[in-house]
Amino acid sequence: MTEPDTPVAPIKGVVVIETALETMPANPGVYRMLDAKGDALYVGKARSLKKRVVSYTQIHRLSERLRRMVSETVSMEIVTTHTEAEALLLEANLIKRLKPRFNIVLRDDKSYPWLTMTEDHPYPQIAKHRGARTRKGSFWGPFASAWAVNQTVTAMQRVFLLRSCADTVFANRSRPCLLHQIKRCSAPCVGRIAEADYAVLVGQAKAFLAGKSGAVQQELAGEMERAAESLEFEHAAAVRDRIRALTFVQGNDVINPASLEDADVIAAWQSAGQTCVQVFFVRGGRNNGNRAFYPTHARAEETPEVLGAFIAQFYDDKPPPPLLLLSHGIAEQDLVAEALSLKAGRRVELAVPQRGEKHAVVEHAHINAREALERKLAESAGQAKLLEAVANLFAMPSPPRRIEIYDNSHIMGTNPYGAMVVAGPEGFAKSGYRKFGIRGPIAPGDDFAMMKEVLTRRFTRGLKERAEGGSAEDWPDIVLIDGGAGQLSATRSVLDELGVDDVKLIAIAKGVDRDAGREWFHTAGMAAFQLPPRDPVLYFLQRLRDEAHRFAITTHRAGRSKAIRISELDEIAGIGAARKRALLNHFGSARGVKMAGLGDLEAAPGISRETARRVYAHFHPGVRMDAGASA
């Protein structure tokens, strides 16, 4: 069988690569292939850049997918590193950040919660934590979800009676809170426990989180026996309740393998060209929950390849544990272990257990990966049927790939926001959601004008991206708006002004009775109509509208809360955070500052005479400072 003729298209890309090879070193490093817009097509690492990149010039040996990649390559960039392990870490970072089309990409932009215990207070607080670790304290995690860490906080309260309140609440308590009443706090805020005794609870909690639950249980059992022998039956009963809570916590995990302390269990299942990766977080011998991931990749990619790329990217922004238990062996497993060890500053081991308890744990994760992928595929099939029904209902030539739904939210015209949500074959695409702060000028409550601004901004940007060769995936097939014939006409006029004529416009209105289930649908070329009350397409379109409404309200509330937090003091030049805090602490509110006389302002702690005059002049423009201003 003869090799098919090499397409002419990749030749330009080969020339670009050959030109780059002339000055490319043989060092370890990372290379990037860029398209005409400067976006990354592919990011790769190599022990020797020159030897690796030269393979892309041998077109006849490349798959059709890689030929297409080479044909789109307009330029190349390289970064050299000291070792191949460093190159692997840099490659994972760039793939996760740039999301190149020809790489296996982990789309995981969520932060993971941690459990923290503060160390800058006589009575440490236990709480959930996200983000930068700016406060002194101990941290345990990560946890798979907020629910998982909240469950652990509740368990720590029940067993160790640690406080979870903020320091400001702690400092202002005059009597115990409800948590003390339900035996979840020792009430250090009102002196119900001595600092030394509280420190014992903290030490027990840290030992428990470090995986020494057996020692903690023995210590509590001894304390209960000593209390009983001393006839302190009330204290003995309290310790007994803590032991029961500890026993419940130890036996309530989905997987709680005795042989594991700190490890991540990672299993992948592949079907229908898609892959689900399940990660179970085990810390201190306890299950901190699990999460499913669906990396994007070409259908031909095998499970070990996907798993290897996943692991490198997954630990780009989080510390790896000492042990990773895998369902499949991966390519360059020793190199990945070396790179993760370099990142962690200690040894990290990757293992594929074949028997025993560790194998059972991996099998448990493997089953979860299979079931999660089966559910996702079933949901996708159902979604595909609904999209096909929508296309039939509105006489579209093919099922829509992208539906954009718009809504506005405001209160009497204040803090107006527009919102856009996106849905497609995979359900709601939250990465495509957008919020629009209305700039105006718009009359209060003018929903037509608000919608016009939102659509103008969205499609003006979309048309510009289209002209620059942007992805067709970001262009909607359907625009769904909440409203009737008037809203439909106004929306059509906006798009006509912009020259957009390839988008199906649909308006959904509840009608005069405002009953859900009796909506009227309006679109060009069809008379307004209703669907039967239990029609699946009706439910689907209602869900789209309701999600846009929810997102618009959430956006509006967040904007309103931010506006409320912004004080009028922020508008005064020279008033920073410290002086603002001093004024608010002294006068109680921005209104109190506004009503204060010049003499009162000058007498405020931390406020100089010049600052007081500046604040007074801001609130009383035109008033002379020497004309009784302090009255």
Choice among 55-59, 252-256, 465-469, 515-519 with the minimum mean pLDDT: 252-256
Q: Is the pLDDT at 480 greater than 90, yes or no?
A: yes
For residues 501-521, average pLDDT: 80
Residue 240 covered by a domain: yes
**Coil, helix or strand for 478?**
strand
pLDDT value at residue 471: 66
Please indicate, yes or no, whether residues 342 and 485 belong to a single structural domain of this protein.
no
Structure tokens at 280: 């179970």
Average pLDDT over residues 490-501: 92
User: Which of 46-55, 380-389, 554-563: highest mean pLDDT?
Assistant: 46-55
Stronger pLDDT, 241 or 79, i.e. the higher one = 79
Is-contact 184 161, C-beta < 8 A? yes
* 226-280 residue pLDDT tens: 878 878 787 787 778 777 766 665 554 445 566 788 899 999 999 888 999 999 9
Closest listed residue to residue 330, CA positions, set 247, 378, 266, 374: 266
Q: Which residue has the higher pLDDT, 462 or 467?
A: 462
Beta bridge partners of 282: 263, 287
**How many C-beta neighbours within 10 Å does residue 111 have?**
11
3-state secondary structure of 568: helix
Q: Is the pLDDT of residue 515 over 90?
A: no
Do 50 and 189 lie in one domain? The reply is no
Q: Tell me what pLDDT residue 149 has.
A: 86
Q: State how far the Cα of 79 lies from the Cα of 32, in Å rounded to an integer.
A: 9
- Whether residue 473 lies inside any domain: the answer is yes
pLDDT over 90 for what percent of the chain?
45
Each residue's pLDDT tens digit, 342-396: 999 999 999 999 988 899 999 999 999 999 998 888 888 889 999 999 999 999 9
DSSP 75-142: EEEEEE-SSHHHHHHHHHHHHHHH--TTS-B--------EEEEESSSSS-BEEEE-S---SSEEEE--
In a domain, 107, yes or no: no
Q: What is the DSSP letter of 252?
A: -
Q: Which long-range contacts (CB under 8 A, 24 or more apart) does 484-487 make?
A: 484/509, 484/520, 484/522, 484/528, 485/522, 485/528, 486/448, 487/447, 487/448, 487/451
pLDDT at 1 (0 to 100): 37
Last-in-domain residue among 563, 578, 606: 563
Instruction: Render pLDDT for 329-343 as a digit per residue (tens, 0 to 9).
Output: 999 999 999 999 999
Question: What Rg, from alpha-carbon coordinates, does the chain have?
Answer: 31
Average pLDDT over residues 181-190: 91
273: helix, strand or coil: coil
- Residue 285 phi/psi, 5-degree rounding, is 80, 5
Task: Report strand pairing: 520-523 vs 504-509.
Answer: antiparallel
Ramachandran category for residue 198: left, alpha or beta (phi over 0 → left; psi -120 to 50 → alpha): alpha
Domain span holding position 615: 568-619
Q: Do 339 and 419 share a domain, yes or no?
A: no
Burial of 245 (0-12, 13-18, 19+ CB in 10 A): buried
Residue 54: CATH number of its domain: 3.40.1440.10
* Percent of the chain topping pLDDT 70: 90
Q: Three-class SS of residue 411?
A: strand
Mean pLDDT in residue range 413-432: 85
CATH number assigned to the domain comprising residue 598? 1.10.150.20
554 burial (CB, 10 Å; 0-12 / 13-18 / 19+) is middle
The CATH number assigned to the domain holding 497 equals 3.30.420.340
245 and 345 fall within a common domain: no
Q: Structurally, how many domains does the chain consist of? A: 5
Residue 41: band (very low, low, confident or very high) from pLDDT cuts 50, 70, 90:
very high
Question: Is 363 inside a domain boundary?
Answer: yes
Mean pLDDT (the chain) is: 85
Residue 630's pLDDT band, with cuts at 50, 70 and 90, is very low
| Residue matched to tokens 């298209």 | 9
In this structure, are 558 and 409 located in the same domain? yes
- The pLDDT tens digits of the residues spanning 118-176 come to 999 999 999 999 888 888 999 988 888 888 888 888 888 888 899 999 888 898 888 99
For residues 491 and 8, the model is more confident at 491
Same domain, 179 and 203: yes
- Please check the confidence at residue 560 and state whether its pLDDT lies above 80: no
Cα–Cα distance, 75 to 70 (Å, whole number): 10
Q: Please indicate, yes or no, if residue 417 is contained in any of the structural domains.
A: yes
Q: Are residues 552 and 417 in the same domain?
A: yes
Helices and strands of the chain, counted as H and E runs? 20, 19
367 within some domain: yes
Domain boundary pick from 206, 224, 250: 250
Do residues 408 and 550 share a domain?
yes
Question: Do residue 420 and residue 558 come from a single domain?
Answer: yes
Q: Are residues 437 and 549 in the same domain?
A: yes
| Cα atoms found within 13 Å of the Cα of residue 307, Cβ hemisphere only | 26
Residues 541, 599 within the same domain: no
Which of residues 56, 71, 98 is at a domain's end? Answer: 98
Indicate whether 365 and 267 sit together in one domain: yes
DSSP state of 321: P
What's the pLDDT at 7? 46
266 beta partners = 279, 326
Whether 31 is covered by a domain: the verdict is: yes
Q: Tell whether 498 is covered by a domain.
A: yes
Q: Torsions phi, psi of 391, nearest 5?
A: -60, -40
